């Protein structure tokens, strides 16, 4: 009898749970913007810069955590990442200066995110699950991760109301610590880590960097990061500035996370049936259309919720599609490392989406310029994806 912890479904659920708590802890950081800046006497730009640094460090660290996962196995990297994440959130709660906030919420949490989210989780699942079921595994893990994000929003708001924002962060840190045992189950077979040893990691990186589609994916992912970081980080404050209350802002974030659950699962499945590059282009165009309508109409509570649902449905659908496209072209042996390089583009966009949101608001008292920028980047990203050559490399075809 197979042990249940070796069952692919159990492994996918554990991986999704880790990713859900990790992404959920990041998704709710916008809820801490107003109480933290008010109590500590910081500007919105101070808070935004720390979270922007987090996004940038997350991206820059991804290639290196990817290399470790490809070399040593994903379980070790995931377990270490959960410990670092818990420590970073705990120290964030105790930061008393803007510099301290940058070092904890920015640098430490950024490194932890690189070890507990998309790259490591999807890379491991791509090696654990058979190719025919890869779309299912990535989609289900993303859906479970989305459920975690959704649950973290009301949980965090309830903790803030009941215990204050400091204790809320401490309890989130404790929850992240509970993910360490689950991480041990996300372990690839040694045969999967040893597959393809005829190619070195350096050769695989050079091969990817010489592929035009690799760079187009990187540039397109930049737009994704800009859009998501800006909306997740600044939407609560934007809605409150426009006259809605804090309850509406919490509901809006919750709807994004809730809609992301079926959305990510659906996009993962669609990636097994249709060309992933086309699906990615359509997602970016759809986002731009939704944002254009949202900022063009007078803001009401119901319109904010419709916007959140539509954006949520395509929120993280780009990730399993991008990861699947890379495994399709480059194979799975060094997938975590290569996805880490592509994710750098995503997180450069996240840095600017978060930081410029605070900078532009402090200068103009408005987020309008950021909305226009996010819309334009979506159109450009769609244009980048159509010409990607998504054929499997000749080396893999021969193998």
What is the C-alpha radius of gyration for the chain, rounded to an integer number of angstroms? Answer: 20
Q: What confidence tier does 1 reach under pLDDT thresholds 50, 70, 90? A: very low
CA 313 – CA 346 distance, rounded (Å): 19
Spatial distance between the Cα atoms of 265 and 262, rounded to a whole number of angstroms: 5
How does the average pLDDT of the chain come out, rounded?
A: 88
> pLDDT value at position 56?
85
Q: Which of 254, 231, 255 is nearest to 371 (CA)?
A: 231
Q: What is the pLDDT of residue 237?
A: 85
User: CA angle, 296 as apex, 291 and 298 as ends, to 5°?
Assistant: 115
Contact status, residue 14 vs residue 20, Cβ threshold 8 Å: no
Top pLDDT among 50 and 6 is at 50
**pLDDT number for residue 196:** 47
Q: Decide: residue 302, CB within 10 A, 0-12 exposed, 13-18 middle, 19+ buried.
A: exposed
- Would you say 325 and 280 are in contact if contact means Cβ atoms under 8 Å apart? yes
Q: What is the pTM of this model?
A: 0.79
Least confident of 77-86, 164-173, 250-259, 301-310: 250-259
Separation between Cα atoms, residue 83 and residue 85, nearest integer Å? 5
- For residue 130, with 0-12 CB atoms within 10 Å meaning exposed, 13-18 middle and 19 or more buried, which class applies? exposed
> Looking at residue 198, what is its pLDDT?
66
**Confidence band, pLDDT 50/70/90 cuts, at residue 243:** confident
Q: Where are the alpha helices (DSSP H) in 44-133?
A: 44-72, 74-93, 98-101, 109-116, 118-128
122, burial (CB in 10 Å: exposed 0-12, middle 13-18, buried 19+) = buried
Confidence label for 7 from pLDDT (cuts 50, 70 and 90): confident
């Amino acid at each position: 009898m197979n042990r249940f912890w070796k069952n692919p479904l159990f492994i996918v659920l554990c991986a999704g749970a880790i990713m859900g708590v990790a992404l959920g802890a990041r998704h709710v950081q916008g809820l801490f913007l107003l109480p933290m800046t008010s109590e500590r006497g910081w500007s919105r730009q101070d808070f935004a810069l720390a979270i922007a640094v987090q996004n940038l460090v997350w991206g820059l660290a991804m290639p290196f955590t990817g290399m470790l996962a490809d070399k040593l196995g994903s379980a070790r990297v995931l377990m270490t990442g959960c410990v670092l994440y818990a420590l970073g959130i705990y120290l964030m709660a105790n930061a008393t200066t803007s510099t301290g906030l940058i070092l904890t919420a920015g640098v430490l949490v950024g490194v932890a995110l690189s070890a507990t989210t998309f790259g490591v989780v999807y890379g491991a699942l791509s090696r654990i699950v058979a190719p025919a079921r890869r779309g299912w595994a990535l989609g289900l893990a993303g859906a479970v991760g989305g459920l975690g994000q959704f649950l973290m929003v009301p949980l965090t708001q309830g903790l803030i109301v009941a215990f204050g924002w400091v204790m809320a962060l401490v309890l989130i840190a404790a929850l992240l610590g509970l993910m360490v045992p689950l991480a041990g189950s996300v372990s690839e077979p040694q045969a999967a880590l040893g597959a393809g040893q005829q190619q070195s990691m350096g050769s695989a990186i050079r091969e990817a960097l010489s592929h035009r589609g690799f760079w187009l994916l990187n540039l397109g992912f930049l737009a994704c990061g800009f859009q998501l970081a800006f909306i997740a980080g600044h939407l609560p404050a934007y809605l409150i500035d426009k006259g809605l209350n804090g309850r509406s802002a919490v509901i809006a974030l919750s709807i994004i996370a809730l809609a992301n659950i079926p959305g990510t699962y659906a996009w993962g499945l669609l990636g097994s049936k249709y060309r992933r590059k086309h699906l990615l282009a359509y997602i970016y165009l759809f986002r731009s259309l939704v944002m254009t309508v949202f900022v063009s109409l007078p803001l009401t509570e119901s319109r904010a919720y419709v916007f959140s649902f539509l954006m949520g449905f395509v929120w993280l659908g780009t990730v399993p599609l991008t990861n699947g496209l890379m495994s399709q072209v480059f194979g799975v042996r060094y997938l975590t490392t290569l996805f880490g390089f592509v994710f750098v583009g995503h997180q450069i966009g996240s840095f600017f989406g978060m930081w410029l949101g605070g900078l532009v608001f402090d200068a103009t008292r408005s987020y309008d310029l950021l909305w226009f920028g996010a819309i334009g980047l979506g159109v450009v990203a769609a244009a980048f994806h159509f010409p990607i050559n998504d054929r499997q490399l000749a080396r893999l075809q021969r193998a």
